[in-house]
Amino acid sequence: NRMVDFLGKQQGVSYRSLPFAKWNDSLYIVFPHDYSIYSLTADRCENYCSFDFGKNNMFPESFLSFSSDERTDYIKRKYANFYELPVGGISNLHISERFIFFTAVHHVSQYKVFIDKKSRQFTVGYVTSTEKYPFASSEFLSIYKDKMICCVSPESVLGLLDRRKDLKLEIDYDFFRRLDIADNPVLCLHTLKSK
């Protein structure tokens, strides 16, 4: 294997949500349809923490042992539509010095869950864009230290700046005005703070 420079323009961003998270020298994992985070060592998989979303919002423990077909049959028998489905499990796991972050799909909505490790305070919901932070709800990529990393297309940035000339953002307008619609995506680093 070797690394070589990419000579062409990047046409987009692609990433996969892996079930693993690394923090310091520890490795963590989540499993589909499970409501726990596990720490991994060379010879052990131990429960790091578990979440109780309420009996009606969780698949039964036996669901973990079902085959793919059995899971499909169970869901078809038990739930009339997507709006009755329980939380599907934990995904997009990221751990930093201060936060545990993951997403959980309930019904048809993906919720972001932030846990402040120091205060043990949970924040569950959506990250929404505001006047001051118009790109906060852009495509989530990762958590790094206490920053949420998202990406936004140059077309979206230029469109917003063109439509909203009245915005007073703490950004380098000259930099953003030099963007070309065909440029690579812009990475946004949002600092996470407790209220």
Integer Cα distance of 136 and 128 in angstroms: 6
What's the Rg (C-alpha) of the chain?
Answer: 20
Q: In sequence order, which residues have a C-beta less than 8 Å from that of residue 41 and are 6 or more positions away? A: 27
pTM over 0.85? The answer is: no
Integer Cα distance of 7 and 29 in angstroms: 35
Q: What is the pLDDT of residue 2?
A: 52
User: Is residue 86 exposed (0-12), middle (13-18) or buried (19+ Cβ within 10 Å)?
Assistant: buried
Q: Tell me the two tokens of residue 103.
A: 């997403």
Q: What is the pLDDT of residue 176?
A: 77
Q: What is the pLDDT of residue 63?
A: 93
Buried b (16+ CB within 10 A) or exposed e, 107-118: eeeeebbbbbee
Task: Please answer whether residues 138 and 118 qualify as being in contact, where contact means their C-beta atoms are separated by less than 8 angstroms.
Answer: no
Amino acid (1-letter code) at residue 22: K
The mean pLDDT values, 10 residues at a time, for the chain of 195 residues are: 51 57 87 90 90 90 92 91 85 84 81 85 76 75 78 86 72 76 85 63
Task: Please state, in angstroms and as integers, the Cα–Cα distance from residue 169 to each residue in 81, 133, 135, 165, following that order.
Answer: 42, 8, 11, 10
Strand pairing report for 26-29 and 20-23: antiparallel
Q: Which helix (H) or strand (E) holds 155?
A: helix 154-163
Integer Cα distance of 86 and 68 in angstroms: 17
